[in-house]
């Protein structure tokens, strides 16, 4: 069974600065995906970025990028030029068989103006 661990419950960042959210996972599979989801206070969960394990290149979506270390089973999210709207809970997730998502406990990110 896959496990996802997010050990930082809370983080804070100054507006316009960069923050990195950590995630580790465990799996016996060799080909898989990893996701970061954002859940703002309005509750709607949205996909921020995805990484395919077979790709060497780290995924990037505008201000969001990942640092994917397959051997270390690490999958961190970097948010550059942080904005007030980035304040939310962020979840690292592993899609297993039939798209069943295994989520970490999440991290609450606050952005200071």
Partner 1 sequence: DAGVTQSPTHLIKTRGQQVTLRCSPISGHKSVSWYQQVLGQGPQFIFQYYEKEERGRGNFPDRFSARQFPNYSSELNVNALLLGDSALYLCASSLGPGRPYEQYFGPGTRLTVT
Sites of contact with partner 1 (CB under 8 A): 4, 6, 32-33, 42-47, 50, 91, 93, 95-106
Min dist. Cβ of residue 47 to partner 1 (A): 6
Nearer to partner 1, 107 or 111 (CB): 107
Min dist. Cβ of residue 17 to partner 1 (A): 26
Min dist. Cβ of residue 45 to partner 1 (A): 4
Nearer to partner 1, 104 or 111 (CB): 104
104: number of Cβ within 10 Å:
23
Taking every pair of Cα atoms in the chain, the longest distance, rounded to a whole number of angstroms, is: 42
Nearer to partner 1, 9 or 113 (CB): 9
């Amino acid at each position: 069974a896959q496990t996802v661990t997010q050990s930082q419950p809370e983080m804070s960042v100054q507006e316009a600065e960069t923050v990195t959210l950590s995630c580790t996972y465990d799996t016996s599979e060799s080909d898989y995906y990893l996701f970061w989801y954002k859940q703002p206070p309005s509750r709607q969960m949205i996909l921020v970025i995805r990484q395919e394990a077979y790709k060497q290149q780290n995924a990037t979506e505008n201000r969001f990028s990942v640092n994917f270390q397959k051997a270390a089973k690490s999958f961190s999210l970097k948010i550059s030029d942080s904005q007030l709207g980035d304040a939310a809970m962020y979840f690292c997730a592993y899609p297993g068989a039939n798209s069943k998502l295994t989520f970490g406990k999440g991290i609450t990110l606050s952005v200071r103006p």
